[in-house]
Chain A
Amino acid sequence: MSTRLSSTGRLIDRSQKISFSFNGKNFSGFKGDTLASALLANDQILLGRSFKYHRPRGVVSSGSEEPNALVNLGDGGMFEPNQRTTTTELFDGLSATSQNHWPSLEFDVGAINQYLSRFLPAGFYYKMFIHPRPFWKYIYEPFIRQSAGLGKAPSEKDASTYEHFYAFYDIVVVGGGVAGLQAALTAAKSGKKILLIEQTAHWGGRAPVDGGEVNGQPLDKFVDKCVAVLASMENVTMRTRMMGAGVYDHGYLIAYERLSDHKPEASGPRHRLWRIRTGSIIIATGAIERPLVFSDNDKPGVLLASALRDYIVDYGVSVGDRTVVVTNNDDAYLTAIAVKNAGLEVSAIIDARPNGAGELGEKAKALGISVKAGKGIAKVLGSKRVTGVAICAQAGEGAVLEEIPCDCVAMSGGWSPVVHLYSHCGGKLLWDEEKLMFHPDAHNYPKNHNGKPFILPAGAVSGRMDLSEVLRDATKVGSKAVDSKKTSKPPSARMRVDAPIEAVWMMPQGAGIKLRSKAWLDFQNDVKVSDVQLAAQEGFQSVEHAKRYTTLGMATDQGKLSNINGLATLAASLNAPIPEVGTTTFRPPYTPISMGSIAGLARDEVFQPIRQTPIHVWHEEQGAYMEPVGQWRRPYCYPRTGESYADAVEREINQTRGSLGLIDASTLGKLLIKGPDAAKFLDMLYTNMMSRLKVGKCRYGLMCNENGFLSDDGVVARIDKETFLCHTTSGGADYIHAHMEEWLQTEWWDWKVYVANVTEQFAQVGVVGPNARAVLEKLGGMDVSKDALGFMEWKDGQIGGFKARAYRISFSGELSYEIAVPANQGLAFWQALLEAGQEFGVMPYGTEALHVMRAEKGFIMIGDETDGTVIPQDLGMNWSISQKKTDFLGKRAQERSYMVDVNRWRLVGLQTTDGSVIPDGAYAVGQGRNANGQKNTIGRVTSTYYSPTLQRGIAMGLVHKGPERLGEIIDFPKVDGTIVKVKIVDQVFYDKDGEKQNV
C-alpha cells in the first residue's frame, strides 16, 4: 500500500483539503501536493502503460525527469496530454486520465505485446514494415498509429491565453537550489541586474530533503535567509515556476513561466515565454538520479531512491510499508534512513559494492538496517506492483540467493548532472571516472563574442555533490560572473565522508539474455539492455544512430533517466570507453513547453497583421469577398445576393467597360525618389530611360534584379526635375523600397538621392470606364479633359473639394484616372465618387475584374507572367529595354548566352478552339518523352480567365518559340485525361490600338 503518513510533509498544508479525480474516480489530497504525491497517497500506484509493450507503470521520479507517470489533464479547451504528474501541482477540481491503454488501465489488451517482445526487437519497424512498399501507407502506418502513442490530441481549441516578455539582465541564474541561491547572492552584491529562476514552486531545491547544516544552522533556515536577502535587493528579480528552456548564441535564453497551471481559474495568461538577453548565465540546475538496470526495474513500486525520499519528507507519502533500497553509492542510504525515520520498515539495503558505504553506512547499521553488500537484484517479483525482490551476487549471473518480500524498491545508480542548458550552446562535457558522470569541462565553457565563457555552471551540475563543495563552487562562480576580484567567503558546511561510487551498468554484471531482455533503460519508449546490445551488434556504433534505431531517449522525457545508462550499455557492447561513445545532442527545450507559449499573443485576431486600406471598412460592410495580396486584404469581387463570385466579376467588368467602375488602388506602392541624382538612379533601376521623362508625364517601367529577371513593374511619374514618384506592385512596395536603399547605401552611397515610402500617405482610387471623365467633371475641380490631362500625364489640383493628384493611366484599356488623396480623406472621396457616379450606374470592382480586364488587354502581371525566372525579352517587352543606356540592373545578365537563347519560352496569347477556359497552371505537351518517361512540355499557362467582354476563355502563356508559331494549335492535357486544343494568338485580345483608353 502506498499511503499518507501522519507526521512528515514539508510542502503540504494538511488543513487545506483538495478534491480531484483520476480516471473518473474521486480522490483528495492536500494543498502543496503534486498530482503524483496525491495519487500515491491514495494508493494509486499504477498510473499508465508504456509506449510499446503497454507494461504497467508507476511513478519513478519526483520531478521533471519523469518518464512514466504522464496523464491527460483537463477537459475541452483546457485539455492537455502527456502532463507529468510529478510536476503538476494539485488544484481543486483537477481531472486527469491515464494514457496508452485499451480498454482500461487495469486491463490493457495491448499488454500482449510484452509477450511478443522477442518479435519486436530494436529496429523492428524498419525491418518488418519496409516491404511491400505500398503497404506502409495503407496498412502498416494506420495500424501502428492506432496502437502506439501516449496522450490524445486535444479536440478543442485551446481556451487559455499566452504571451511573450522581452527581458534584459546582466546575469540570469537558472535554478533556485542552494547553488543557485548562493551564486545569486554572491553576484548580486555587485549591484548588477540579476534574474533568478526556479522551475518548481519552492526555493532550495532538494537540499532541504537531503539535510545538512550551513553555518551551524539547519538547511531550510539557510534557504529562507538567502531568499529573504535576495528578495530585498532592488537589482534582483526572482521568479518561481519558471524553467530555463533553451540557451542560444549571444546570451539569448528562453524561459518558460507557468502562471496558472496550478490555479486554472486565475485571469491572465497560462504561460509566459520570456525571451531574455543576458550577459552571462549561471547554470545551477543540479543533478538527476539514475536508475539501476536490473530485470523488471520498471514495475510500479520501483522508483528512484531520491524520489522516495522526496515523497516521504516533502509530501508525507510512503510508497510501501517494506522498502528495499538498492544502490551503488552512499546517497541511497539517506533514503533508507528517511524510511526508517518515518516509522516504516527497510527490508534491506542491497549495496552492489562489496565494501558498502561510508559514514551513512554506519548510521544505517545503527538504526538496525540490514545491509547486503556485494549483492544485486536478480529480478523484481509481482505483476502490477512490486511484491518482492530476488537477490543475487552482483558479480555473478543472477542465481537467486534469497527472495525478500517488499512493496517498494528504491534504486540509485548515481547522479547525472543536468547539463542540458549548459550544452545547448556548445558547452563541452568531461567524463568523470571517479564520480561516474558527465559534467562540464571547465576549460570548454560556451563562449560569447569576446571569447569569454558566458555560461557558468555552479554546484551539482558541475559534479560538486557534497553540500560543502556546492557552497564553495557557487560562491566562486557568483564572483566570477561579476568579474569580482574580491573572493567572498563561502558559508561553511561539513563534508560527508562517503565510500566511492562503483560502476554498475547491469545488475548482476553477468546477467544473461533473459534478464537483459527485461532490464529497462528507457521506460517510456520501452528500450531494454538487449535492444541496445542488438543495435551495437547490427552495426549502429554511433550513439546518435543507436538512439534513433532503438528510440532510446526519444520519448517526451528525452532520455533524462536513460541516456547515461544507455550509452554505458552501448560502450560496453562496443568494448569502448564511455567518453569515446559520448552523449547524444542536448537540444532545447529542457522539458516540453506548450505550443501556445511559443505562439504567445499571435493567435485569433492578432495571428497575423492584416493591412487595411483607408477604404477597407467600407469593403467589408459591402460583404466584399476578400483575398490576400501580400499582407493586404483586397476585395476580389463584391457579390450581390444570389450571385456567384464569377457572376459578380462578370457584372463588374461589364459595368466598367460599359460605363463606370471604381477600384481601391491604395495598396499600390508609392515610393518618392528625390535628389540631383534621382534621374540617374532610376535609369539604373528601370530597364527603360526614365531620365528623359518630362515633368508632368508618366511612364510604365520594368525593374529587374542583377540576374536580369523581372522583379517589379509600375508607372513612374516625374514630379519635378529632381523628384519622381514610382508606383510598385501592391505586394512589392516594401521589398522594392529596401532594394533601392540597399543600392543607395552599399553601391551608390555617394549619389545624392533620397527615397521615402509614401504608400500609406495616400488613398488611391481607380476611376475607370467611358464615363470616368464625366464623373470627375461632375464632382468638379481640376480640368481633366483630354487636352488638359492627356494619356500618361498627371496633375495636382482639387476634385470635389479634395486635394488630389490625378494620374491618367490605364490598366484596363478604358478611359481611366487614378486619383490619389490624403489617406485620411480616402473613404470620404470614395463615397463622393459613388454618389456622383450613381447616374452612370457606378460599381466598385475587385481584383479579379482588374485581372481579367488587364488580361483582355494583354498586360502582364508580376507574379503571374513572371516567376523569378522570366526576363522582359521573354514577354516580348524589348520595347521597354533601353538600348541607349550603358548600364542598368540586369543588363549584363540579359546578354548571357542562356538569356538570348532562341529556345526560351516566350509570351503569347492562347485561345481555346472550343472557347473553354484553360485550367490554371496547365502545361502544353509536344513530341517525345523525357528521361523520366514523361511527355515533353513545350509551354505553360501564366494567366487564364473567362472574358465576359469576348464571351470566351482567354489566356496568356509562355511557349517554346511562341511568337514564331502564331496560328499553330497545341495540346494542353487536363487532369481528367482530356485535352484542350489551343491556338497560339497575339496576346492582346481587346482594343489592340488603344483607342478606348486614349479618348
Chain B
Amino acid sequence: MSDPVTAMETLRFEGFVTVSQAGSLGMITLRGDFGSKPFGTALKKALGLDPPQKRQIAHGNNSTAAWMSPDELLIFCSWEDKATLMTALQKVIGKRHAMVIDVSDARMTFTLTGSNVREVIAKLAPVDLSPGSFEPGELRRTRFGQIAAAFWLVSQDEAKVICFRSVGDYMFKQLKAASTPGSELDIWT
C-alpha cells in the first residue's frame, strides 16, 4: 500500500493557461529555529541547501524548501524520497526543539503553464504579480479566492499553487474560471 492514491482523477483544463493537477509530492513540515547558525548548518547537511530567506523558496538537488514563517519550512521532495529525508532530518536535528512531520497527503498541488500565468494568479490572490515585483525564487502564502494557498513561479510561464486537499476541487474550479479564454488582460505580455 505504498502507492499514493490521489484524491481525484488527475485534473486538467486548457484555458489561456493550462491548469493541471501535479502528481503526488513528498511534503514535510519542519518547525524549528532554522535561522540560527547551528540549526541552519545541520539542515544544509540533510537537505543539501541553505534554508531559504524570508518569503523565498530554495531549490536543492533532491529537495526544495519554502519559507512559511520565521520558524516553519515546507520541504518538498519526491514521493519516494520522503521517508529517507525525514529520517535524515530527524537525525541532524537530534535533541533540538523542532518538529518534523509528514504532510504529503494534506495538500494538493497545481501547475499553471502559459505566458499569462501571472494574470490568472492576480485574479485570485491579492499579490503584486507584475514582472519585477514577483519573480522565481519567491514564495507567497496568501489566499486564492476564499481559501488559503501558497504559490511560486517556476519560470516566467510556469507557476505552482498549493492548497489543502479538502479544497482542491474548489481551487481547480476557480483556476479554471480565472483562465477562461477571452478573459486575458495581456497587460504583462
Contacts and interface: CB of A to CB of B under 8 A. Distances in A.
A828 B166 contact: no
Interface string B6-29: 111000000000000000100001
B166 A760 contact: yes
Given A609-B145, A617-B8, A269 B183 contact: yes
B181 A606 contact: no
A164 B123 contact: yes
B31 A824 contact: no
Interface string A139-173: 00000000000000000000001011111100000
A758 B102 CA distance: 9
B180 interface: yes
B81 interface: no
Interface in B103-136: 103-107, 119, 122-130, 133
B29 A756 contact: yes
B122 A614 contact: no
Interface residues of A, number: 51
A752 B29 CA distance: 17
A613 interface: yes
A756 B72 CA distance: 10
Interface centre among A161, A166, A608 (most CB of B within 10 A): A166
A164 B4 CA distance: 36
A562 B149 CA distance: 48
A241 interface: no
Contact of A614 (B7, B32, B124, B183): B7
A163 B103 contact: no
Contact of A267 (B126, B147, B181): B181
Given A163-B178, A823-B105, A602 B7 contact: no
Contacts of A760: 103, 105-107, 164-166
Contacts of B177: 161, 163, 601, 606
Contacts of B146: 602, 608-609
Contacts of A676: 97
B154 interface: no
Given A617-B8, A761-B105, A611 B166 contact: yes
Interface string A588-607: 00000000000001100110
A570 interface: no
A825 B5 contact: yes
B99 A672 contact: yes
A168 B102 CA distance: 37
A5 B125 CA distance: 50
Interface stretch (B46-54, B58-66, B167-175): B167-175
A354 B128 CA distance: 58
Contacts of A758: 101, 103, 106
Nearest to B129: A166
A632 interface: yes
B97 A675 contact: yes
A425 to B, nearest CB: 19
Contacts of A775: none
A674 B165 contact: no
Contacts of B99: 672, 674-675, 754, 756
A41 B181 CA distance: 37
Contacts of B167: 609-612, 631
Interface in A648-702: 672, 674-676
A602 B181 CA distance: 18
A931 interface: no
Given A166-B123, A168-B130, A601-B145, A610 B106 contact: no
A803 interface: yes
B180 A161 contact: yes
B178 A167 contact: no
B67 to A, nearest CB: 16
Interface centre among A609, A611, A613 (most CB of B within 10 A): A609
Contacts of A827: 5
Contacts of A610: 167, 169-170
A614 B165 contact: yes
Contacts of A752: 97
Contacts of A608: 146
A802 to B, nearest CB: 5
B126 A166 contact: yes
B128 A168 contact: yes
Contacts of A803: 1
Contacts of B29: 756
B4 A601 contact: no
Interface in A717-772: 752, 754, 756, 758-762
A428 interface: no
A801 B3 CA distance: 12
B138 to A, nearest CB: 15
B182 interface: yes
A762 B105 contact: yes
Interface in A799-846: 801-803, 822-825, 827-828
B5 A268 contact: no
A602 B24 CA distance: 28
Interface centre among A266, A608, A754, A825 (most CB of B within 10 A): A754
A237 interface: yes
Interface in B136-152: 145-147
Contacts of A166: 122-123, 125-129
Contact of A268 (B107, B126, B130, B183): B183
Nearest to A163: B123
A827 B165 CA distance: 14
A672 B167 CA distance: 21
A277 B104 CA distance: 35
Contacts of A602: 145-146
Given A166-B123, A823-B106, A266 B130 contact: no
B166 A824 contact: no
Given A166-B125, A268-B182, A828 B169 contact: no
12 contacts: A165-B185, A166-B127, A168-B130, A268-B180, A609-B145, A609-B167, A612-B169, A760-B106, A760-B165, A761-B102, A823-B7, A825-B105
Given A268-B184, A828-B1, 5 more contacts: A166-B129, A267-B183, A275-B126, A672-B101, A823-B165
Interface of A: 161, 163-168, 193, 237, 266-269, 272, 275, 277, 601-602, 605-606, 608-614, 617, 631-632, 672, 674-676, 752, 754, 756, 758-762, 801-803, 822-825, 827-828
Complex A-B, nearest 7 residue pairs according to Cβ-Cβ distance, in ascending order: A267-B182, A268-B182, A168-B128, A611-B166, A823-B105, A760-B106, A609-B170
